């Protein structure tokens, strides 16, 4: 999160500072290290067919 294309875009747009992104990164690492920490990405797809 600190050194990625999206990080540069966020900083350039003024939505966050480097310090903000470092804080977010540290919080994610703490959360990932927690015994009860988990992450899920839901993905779905709808296909429509016109008859």
Tens of pLDDT, residue by residue over 6-32, are 999 999 999 999 999 999 999 999 998
Statement: residue 3 has pLDDT above 90: no
Statement: residue 33 has pLDDT above 90: yes
Per-residue pLDDT, 51: 80
* Three-class secondary structure assignment of the chain: CCCCHHHHHHHHHCCCCHHHHHHHHHHHHHHHHCCCCCCCCCCCCCCCCCC
Per-residue pLDDT, 1: 79
Per-residue pLDDT, 38: 87
């Amino acid at each position: 999160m600190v050194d990625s294309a999206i990080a540069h875009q966020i900083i350039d747009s003024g939505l966050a500072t480097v310090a903000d992104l470092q804080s977010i990164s540290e919080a994610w690492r703490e959360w990932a290290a927690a015994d009860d920490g988990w992450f899920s990405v839901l993905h779905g797809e709808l296909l429509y067919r016109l008859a």
